[in-house]
Amino acid sequence: MNFHYQYKKQFQQALVQWFIREKRDLPWRHTHDPYKIWVSEVMLQQTRVDTVIPYYNRFIEEFPTPEDLAQAPEEKLLKQWEGLGYYSRARNLQAGVREVVEKYSSTVPDNRPEIIKLKGVGPYTAGAILSIAYNKAEHAVDGNVMRVLSRVLLIKEDIALPKTKKIFEQAVMELIDPAYPSEFNQGLMELGALICTPTSPKCLLCPVREFCTAFQEGRPEELPIKTKKTKMKDLFYDVFVVQNEKKKFLLEKRPGKGLLANMWQFPMVEKSTTPSEGFLADSYNVDLVSRERLLSFKHIFSHLTWNMESYYLKVEQNGKPTESSVWFTEEEIKALPLPVPMQKIWAAWKETEAKHKHA
């Protein structure tokens, strides 16, 4: 791409000055600590600012330095991340931070070749940390930047294709303001978040309107082009809050890889196999004492849906506990990282329990 010198300079100035004037007051904008910028960028991956803010504040309070995070047990880490989603981000962040502590004496690298090798740090996050924390002129292309630049530069390539991102990275490297790399990159993202939104962009308030090809041609809301299809699978489960005669509850730890890795859940049985309760009773050597219906709901993930029906079962042990069975008290469950669908079921159990006590 060939930009005229004056176009480039004026675009940079309009964007940077607008950002300095209009930027939101966000917690991670009160620091230049590359570790804290790193934490914020990982949390912000595919996640809205308003969602991240409370998580970021609690996380930094709990793990103020790379050493604090490096030493943390995984269960404590996941508990901090509980509800934020994409839990491998947390594990990868800790792995990356441990690399920094061990190989780089706790100093986050300030160059792309080294920083991009860290676990969980991809092309975007590398550029974000380098530009925001170290003020380096590096590209940081996320969904916002692709949307903004596809409109400003009228780029009609399909942003669902991985190779398309290179076009935007090159464009940023040619357009970026060498005097204000941090403000330039953040300005593009802030513009995408506040003005150049996916639907009904506020072009009349846009600081770079006069540089925007799509605005001049009249149809900015039709960009970017994205062709993608999501085929969702439906899964059906019975979930059991199982309480024994000692008032303890049965929970399972999910496998270390895959969906909700290493998170805890109440026993789940995929439906339409055998009768779920019988399967459960046999698996854990328990006799059913009573059964109460709890809650039915859908939980929608990116690529699949869990159709849940939950029950409260009181049981008595009729043999030795199986290896996979772990019994917890109500108090102990508070420390376990539970995915949101399990939190919903646990909340439903607490409600019925409170109702019983009152009656």
Q: Of 25 and 323, which has the nearer Cβ to DNA? A: 25
Q: Of residues 39, 44, 133, 206, which one binds DNA by CB under 7 A?
A: 44
Which residues inside 48-67 make contact with DNA, applying CB under 7 A? 48-51
| Structure-token pair, residue 212 | 């925007």
**27 touching DNA, by CB under 7 A:** no
d(CA 245, CA 237): 25
> How many residues belong to the site for DNA (CB under 7 A)?
60
The answer to whether 94 touches 72, Cβ cutoff 8 Å, is yes
Which residues inside 244-273 make contact with DNA, applying CB under 7 A? 258-261
> Taking every pair of C-alpha atoms in the chain, what is the biggest distance, in angstroms?
82
**167 touching DNA, by CB under 7 A:** no
The answer to whether 188 touches 128, Cβ cutoff 8 Å, is no
Least Cβ distance, residue 235 to DNA (angstroms): 11
Which residues inside 92-151 make contact with DNA, applying CB under 7 A? 92, 119-126, 128, 142-144, 147
Q: Of residues 339, 345, 346, 348, which one binds DNA by CB under 7 A?
A: 339
User: Any residues with CB less than 8 A from the CB of 273 and at least 6 apart, and which?
Assistant: 279
- By residue count, the chain amounts to 359
Looking at the DSSP assignment, which residues form a beta bridge with residue 328? Answer: 249
**299 touching DNA, by CB under 7 A:** yes
The answer to whether 233 touches 302, Cβ cutoff 8 Å, is no
Least Cβ distance, residue 359 to DNA (angstroms): 30
DSSP 157: S
Least Cβ distance, residue 172 to DNA (angstroms): 13
Which residues inside 208-227 make contact with DNA, applying CB under 7 A? 226
The answer to whether 101 touches 65, Cβ cutoff 8 Å, is no
**41 touching DNA, by CB under 7 A:** yes
| Structure-token pair, residue 170 | 């090159």
Q: Of 50 and 331, which has the nearer Cβ to DNA? A: 50
d(CA 110, CA 133): 9
**228 touching DNA, by CB under 7 A:** yes
**324 touching DNA, by CB under 7 A:** no
Q: Which stretch binds DNA (CB under 7 A): 1-9, 103-111, 193-201, 317-325?
A: 193-201
SS3 280: helix
**206 touching DNA, by CB under 7 A:** no
**192 touching DNA, by CB under 7 A:** yes
C-alpha pair distances (Å), 147 with each of 16, 195, 212: 18, 11, 12
41 is catalytic: yes
User: Any residues with CB less than 8 A from the CB of 109 and at least 6 apart, and which?
Assistant: 100, 115, 118
Which residues lie near DNA (CB under 7 A)? 26, 40-41, 44-51, 83-89, 92, 119-126, 128, 142-144, 147, 160-163, 186, 189-190, 192-193, 198-199, 226, 228, 230, 232, 258-261, 299-304, 339-341
Catalytic residues, by residue number, are 41
